[in-house]
Amino acid sequence: MATVIYGSEVSASIKSELKKHVEQLHNMKKRIPKLVVILIGNHPASMSYVKGKQKACEQIGMLQEVLHFNETITQNQLIKQIEVLNNDHTVDGILVQLPLPKHLNEQQVLQTISYKKDVDGFHPYNIGKAVLQEKDTFLSCTPKGVMRLLESIGYDDLSGLHAVVVGRSNIVGKPMAQLLLQKNATITVCHSKTKDISMYTKHADIVVVAVGKAKFIKKEWIKKGAIVIDVGINRLEDDTLCGDVDFEEVKQIASYITPVPKGVGPMTIAMLLENTWESYKRTNEEGEFK
């Protein structure tokens, strides 16, 4: 039976470290790091994710602001708003909650965010720097969080291991494969055009799934003793959440598995806070946190 990796616990210890740093700033009456989240429209899932981010900032004493716009906002209005935030020295992190309404150009919006405040790590500058393994970048929060979970169970160097990533989105699958590769894993990336995904997952030591389909990965697809990381978040008809992995089945043969909820989700938020803290440290002119 697999050991369950609770991201909720790993993230709690990361947040408690960050809280100490922020408390120190409060005590010294220094400027406090600030995250601004832009939310467009009233999509229930987006609103709930934004609430989670607000709550996490509050928990560690970090400043946060949510700019909530009507769905009718134009591309130009949104771009102008981001430019204001780029020039606001009290703002360390800017996040635009995705997905955006169809009339908005997502790439143009994300590329307007200053790469120095791109705490989601979606700007091409940061993506490029991440591929080059340069330090002064922001890594995409979810894949970064997954890597921390692997570290938490002693898997820091993945030499000799075969990792299969199911899903190739720009925000999860692709950066995930990149980070696993940097830790020396041998990578296979599967997607909707892959023929017989189980042929790959069955031979994987690590499977990371980010597809967005409830209980997509079955027990028969997983090698005994594999590590299974479930990024997916799916809302079922009875309003409960479940991942892309059939948790009850797969936990019988995996060595480690993440649950949904309380798995990767809390890590994504912890990494967002960490990136905002990093941004603050980089831009702080006063020197003592450099």
CB of residue 234 vs ligand NDP: minimum separation in angstroms? 6
Cβ closest to ligand NDP, residue 244 vs residue 278: 244
CB of residue 244 vs ligand NDP: minimum separation in angstroms? 6
Q: Looking at 118, 120, 205, 230, which residue is catalytic?
A: 120
CB of residue 261 vs ligand NDP: minimum separation in angstroms? 9
Please check whether residue 191 is in contact with residue 206, taking contact to mean a CB–CB distance below 8 angstroms.
no
Pick one of 178, 268, 276, 279: the residue that binds ligand NDP (CB under 6 A).
268
Please check whether residue 18 is in contact with residue 273, taking contact to mean a CB–CB distance below 8 angstroms.
yes
Cβ closest to ligand NDP, residue 81 vs residue 250: 250
Contacts (CB under 6 A) with ligand NDP, residues 52-91:
none
**Does the annotation count 53 as an active-site position?**
yes
Please check whether residue 103 is in contact with residue 92, taking contact to mean a CB–CB distance below 8 angstroms.
no
Distance CA 114, CA 29 (A): 27
Distance CA 123, CA 131 (A): 12
Give the closest residue to 144 by CA, choosing from 275, 9, 40, 3. Answer: 275
DSSP character string of the chain = -PEE--HHHHHHHHHHHHHHHHHHHHHTTPPPPEEEEEEES--HHHHHHHHHHHHHHHHHT-EEEEEEE-TT--HHHHHHHHHHHHT-TT--EEEEPSSPPTTS-HHHHHHHS-TTT-TT--SHHHHHHHHTT-SSS---HHHHHHHHHHHHTT-S--TT-EEEEE---TTTHHHHHHHHHHTT-EEEEE-TT-S-THHHHTT-SEEEE----TT-B-GGGS-TT-EEEE---EE-TTS-EE-SB-HHHHTTT-SEE--SSSSHHHHHHHHHHHHHHHHHHHH-TTSTT-
CB of residue 258 vs ligand NDP: minimum separation in angstroms? 9
Residue nearest to ligand NDP (CB): 169
CB of residue 83 vs ligand NDP: minimum separation in angstroms? 26
Kindly write out the interface string for residues 178-217 of this chain, putting x where it contacts ligand NDP by CB under 6 A and - elsewhere. Answer: ------------xxxx---x------------xxxx----
Contacts (CB under 6 A) with ligand NDP, residues 143-172:
166-169, 171-172
CB of residue 276 vs ligand NDP: minimum separation in angstroms? 16
Kindly write out the interface string for residues 225-264 of this chain, putting x where it contacts ligand NDP by CB under 6 A and - elsewhere. Answer: ------xxxx-----------------------------x
Q: Looking at 15, 34, 53, 117, which residue is catalytic?
A: 53
Cβ closest to ligand NDP, residue 161 vs residue 208: 208
Q: Looking at 34, 64, 81, 97, which residue is catalytic?
A: 97
Pick one of 81, 97, 140, 142: the residue that binds ligand NDP (CB under 6 A).
142
The number of residues that bind ligand NDP (CB under 6 A) is: 24
Cβ closest to ligand NDP, residue 64 vs residue 81: 64
Cβ closest to ligand NDP, residue 81 vs residue 188: 188
Please check whether residue 209 is in contact with residue 203, taking contact to mean a CB–CB distance below 8 angstroms.
no
As annotated, the active-site residues are 53, 97, 120
Q: Interface residues with ligand NDP (CB under 6 A)?
A: 142, 166-169, 171-173, 190-193, 197, 210-213, 231-234, 264-265, 268
